[in-house]
Amino acid sequence: MKTVRAAAVQMVSSADWRENTEKMKALVREAARQGADWVLLPEYWPLMGRSDRDKIAVAEAAGDGVFQTALSEAARENGVVLFGGTVPLVSSAAGKVRNTLPVFGRDGKWLAGYDKIHLFGYSGLGERYAEADTIEAGRQVPRFEADGWGVAQGICYDLRFPELFRAQMPFGVLMLPAAFTYTTGKAHWELLLRARAVENQCYVVAAGQGGVHESGRKTFGHSMIIDPWGEVLVQLPQGEGVVCADLSPAKLESVRSRLPALKHRVL
């Protein structure tokens, strides 16, 4: 395991997938310019539609399509491991998609894919969200390793379910693309991210959507990288951009050896 430099990319995706794809490419280039080895994109980077159903029309078959091709090319051209936020993939359920986090290697090849398991539902303060209306839930707990690091993965609402990440042990870093609403994000985003870092004694890299979208939805942003002691290393409150930080094996080992909570687990 070696020190790697991770980047979290924040976007304010529009209803124009072509525009979003060009912005994604530019932001990955910027992350690489800042020395990133790994780059994490936000959830729904290709499309934040005027309607939740808009993503169904642009769903791709696994391994084929403009979004996956763009991610593959961005990974290869910039020499990074690219955690591709989420892309809508064709589902076996009629009228739905899979909300999938794809990972591409430095050679542009597909390394892994995780389908979001927990589907967000919320109503209150004039807002209503029901991902189950348009998304088929995943069933497989992810398993992944990169550059000697065990890597846990989750997507947005998954953050609220700590058992998902414990099921992926052992790992040293958690990668989480998201599009948290402003309402829930203001209340819980940083709290939940830091809790996952502290309880798993791991780095957390979280990339979000951060602004007002054409549907009127407002996302919280605050993409950040957190260390295994729960300290926020870098953060971008709103708007588009990149934040980077080094993930240090020495820091990880220091926290886990001084407070060996993971070894003290009983259940």
Report how far residue 21's alpha carbon sits from residue 24's, in angstroms, rounded to the nearest whole number.
5
- The pLDDT value given to residue 66: 97
- The pLDDT value given to residue 123: 80
Reduce the DSSP state of residue 262 to 3 states and report it. Answer: helix
Token pair of 145 as six digits? 């390793």
Cis peptide leading into residue 88 (ω within 30°): no
Q: Which residues contact 111 (CB under 8 A, 6 or more apart)?
A: 81, 103, 104, 105, 144, 146
**Beta strand 4-10 with 81-83: parallel, antiparallel or unpaired?**
unpaired
Per residue of the chain (267 residues), what is the pLDDT tens digit? 899 999 999 999 999 999 999 999 999 999 999 999 999 999 999 999 888 888 899 999 999 999 999 999 999 999 999 999 999 999 988 889 999 999 999 999 999 999 999 998 888 767 787 898 899 999 999 999 999 999 999 999 999 999 999 999 999 999 999 999 999 999 999 999 999 999 999 999 999 999 999 988 999 999 999 999 999 999 999 999 999 999 999 999 999 999 999 999 998
CA Rg value for the chain: 17
Report the run of H or E that residue 29 belongs to, with start and end: helix 17-33
Name the residue type at position 195: A
- The pLDDT value given to residue 22: 98
Residues identified as active-site: 43, 116, 156
- The pLDDT value given to residue 206: 98
Reduce the DSSP state of residue 228 to 3 states and report it. Answer: coil
Return the number of other C-beta atoms located less than 10 Å from residue 62's C-beta.
Answer: 15
Reduce the DSSP state of residue 223 to 3 states and report it. Answer: strand
pTM of the complete model = 0.95
